[in-house]
Amino acid sequence: MLKLCRQYLNWIQNSVFEGEITEVKLKELVEKAKHIMDDETDSIIIFKSRQEKWLEKQVVGLEKNDLDTFL
Amino acid sequence: MLKLCRQYLNWIQNSVFEGEITEVKLKELVEKAKHIMDDETDSIIIFKSRQEKWLEKQVVGLEKNDLDTFL
């Protein structure tokens, strides 16, 4: 799942991903994810904001991006 | 950390919380969190949206809320 999500988005924390994505690409990602997830126990929660300026981001502590480059 | 965050927000997935919170309460939560987190390894990423309608939410699979009531 991590590998799949990283093909479409940036990995920012444990099971959290972030990024700009088109509706078509997002549908593709969700469909692929459904095949590998367990509906009984797993969940994907998608927060969408049409404009980046509508969403303010604040990071406290370490930014995952620092690690991401080593993976 | 889970216990602290749940005092202010709803737990929606592993390390993800959601909710309406005032700036004052959010600052309070972040200050308390800083005391129990390890700056070298841990991070808190806060996404803020001023208006709920600016943020669209979609859930695929199980909704954590179903479990939440048992905890």
pLDDT at B68: 53
pLDDT at A57: 92
* B53 interface with A at CB cutoff 8 Å: no
Contact B59 A46 (CB under 8 A): yes
Higher pLDDT, B39 or A9: A9
Q: How does pLDDT run across A42-59, given as a tens digit for each residue?
A: 899 999 998 888 899 999
As a whole number of angstroms, the distance between CA A48 and CA B61 comes to 17
The alpha carbon of residue A38 and the mean position of all alpha carbons in its chain are separated, in whole angstroms, by 18
Residue ranges in chain A modelled with pLDDT below 70? 64-71
Pick the CATH number of B2-68 from 3.40.50, 3.30.70, 3.30.310, 2.40.50: 3.30.70
Contact B48 A33 (CB under 8 A): no
pLDDT at A30: 96
Domain ranges of chain A: 2-68
As a whole number of angstroms, the distance between CA A36 and CA A31 comes to 9
pLDDT at B65: 58
- Mean predicted confidence (pLDDT) in B33-47: 91
Higher pLDDT, B9 or A41: B9
* B49 interface with A at CB cutoff 8 Å: yes
Which of B14, B27, B43 should be substituted to probe chain A, the one whose Cβ sees the most A Cβ atoms within 10 Å? B43
Query: What single-letter amino acid sits at A4?
Result: L
* A9 interface with B at CB cutoff 8 Å: no
